[in-house]
């Protein structure tokens, strides 16, 4: 019968006997745990020697003797010789020192588990009857998939840890396009401060007692000012809560994530940022539009439409090798287009309006810069929409069009 224990090796002496490939696989784990490692082996395999050199690990180039393991907290033996490993295990038993016998795990007093970590939750998997590493690996993989899916109950029951804030990029909207880290942090959250756009469906997975604070903005309507959002994040974290600030797209792409990070740091609140797929790339992709394409566009200029048309934007619009992506620009677009045309940007420059990307309401209106204002008004283009200007927006660029990104136009919509 095996009892699983969580043992801290930080600052404790671990003797590793043998210098082969098994040792090379185990050393990084001992290093991550902060163990004081010593290696005893006549020779080292190249991969082991590299780890030893990179981390300045003490190495005694000699056959192992009983005195080498005296006083160790843990011994790991993997010499490749069963008799030597058995002798090391016997010495450890006599000294009441735990020993992992990698040549025959069933006969060591300790075993290495297959580990899966989700934040501060650590799950170890091992076999209680004999050694079956393939089965252990399969079971561990299933546990990891469960934890990474965000469906495991990862929230703390006791509020013993300090609060923290995680700025999480929710991507373009579909929950399955979020990162694994984003899903895990949301599963751990006590409070979610959510935008109007992004992966809102993930909120339906939360426990009923998770506090959800809606702070979403719409064009011209900011019901919760940014300073108040900052204050909410800081206050909840100072109360010992794990706070997720769930944003559409990426927190650092026109998401004011930098301001929220600054507010947390100034308040002494731990904060991390988890990237998400920005709508500047993912929404055009949903419509079959690559923002770069060999021989067509070699760079991308991402603009905030609410900031007006600056000289750098005019330069990108005039360059037929640059794709200009306009976010939050539906209302400002007619004026921006008129200004660009007055500065000599060709009227036949292709334009695509992609509304509600990655949703069942997605719609694409393709036109040109000279006609875009009229065509967008006729089609009733509205937010949320991403506007793509450049040759990549041509309807004939990628053939055949993907069925999932081909959308029937509404009445009066530009072809």
Catalytic residues: 195, 217
Distances from the Cα of 61 to the Cαs of 15, 64, 75, 90, in angstroms?
Answer: 13, 9, 17, 22
Tokens of 100: 């992992």
Count H helices and E strands in the chain, helices first: 12, 17
Distances from the Cα of 49 to the Cαs of 68, 79, 103, 307, 324, in angstroms?
Answer: 20, 15, 21, 56, 50
Which 3 state secondary structure label does DSSP give 289? Answer: coil
Between the two ends of the chain, the Cα-to-Cα distance in Å is: 71
Neighbours of 406 (CB within 10 A): 12
Give the residue among 391, 393, 414 at the shortest CA–CA distance from 405. 393
* DSSP state string for 128-155: SSS--HHHHHHHHHHHHHHHHTT-S--S
C-alpha 10 chain-centroid distance: 28
């Amino acid at each position: 019968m095996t009892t699983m224990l969580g043992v801290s090796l930080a600052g404790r002496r671990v003797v590793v006997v043998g210098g082969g490939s098994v040792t090379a696989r185990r050393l990084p784990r001992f290093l991550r745990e902060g163990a004081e490692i010593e290696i005893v082996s006549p020779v080292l395999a190249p991969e082991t020697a590299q780890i030893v050199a990179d981390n300045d690990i003490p190495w005694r180039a000699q056959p192992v003797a009983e005195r080498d393991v005296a006083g160790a907290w843990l011994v790991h033996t993997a010499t490749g010789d069963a008799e030597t490993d058995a002798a090391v295990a016997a010495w450890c038993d006599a000294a009441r020192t735990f020993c992992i016998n990698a040549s025959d795990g069933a006969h060591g007093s300790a075993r290495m588990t297959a580990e899966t970590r989700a934040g501060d939750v650590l799950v170890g998997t091992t076999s209680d009857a004999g050694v079956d590493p393939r089965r252990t690996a399969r079971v561990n993989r299933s546990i990891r998939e469960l934890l990474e899916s965000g469906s495991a109950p990862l929230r703390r029951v006791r509020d013993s840890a300090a609060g923290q804030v995680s700025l999480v990029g929710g991507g373009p909207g579909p929950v399955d396009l979020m990162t694994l880290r984003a899903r895990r942090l949301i599963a751990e959250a006590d409070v979610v401060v959510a935008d109007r756009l992004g992966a809102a469906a993930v909120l339906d997975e939360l426990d009923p007692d998770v506090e959800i604070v809606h702070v979403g903005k719409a064009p011209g309507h900011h019901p919760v000012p940014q300073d108040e959002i900052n204050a909410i994040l800081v206050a909840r974290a100072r109360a010992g809560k794990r706070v997720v600030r769930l944003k559409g797209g990426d927190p650092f792409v026109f998401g004011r994530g930098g301001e929220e990070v600054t507010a947390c740091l100034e308040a002494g609140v731990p904060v991390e940022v988890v990237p998400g797929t920005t709508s500047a790339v993912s929404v055009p992709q949903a419509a079959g539009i690559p923002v770069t394409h060999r021989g067509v566009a070699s760079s991308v200029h991402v603009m905030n439409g609410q900031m007006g048309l600056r000289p750098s934007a005019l330069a990108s619009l005039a360059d037929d090798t640059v794709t200009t992506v306009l976010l939050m620009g539906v209302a400002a677009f007619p004026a921006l287009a008129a200004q660009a045309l007055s500065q000599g940007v060709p009227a036949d420059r292709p334009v695509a309006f992609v509304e509600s990307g990655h949703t069942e309401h997605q719609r694409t209106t393709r036109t040109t810069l000279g006609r875009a204002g009229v065509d967008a008004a006729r089609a009733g283009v509205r937010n949320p929409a991403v506007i793509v200007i450049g040759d990549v927006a041509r309807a004939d660029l990628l053939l055949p069009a993907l069925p999932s990104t081909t959308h029937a136009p509404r009445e009066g919509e530009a072809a």
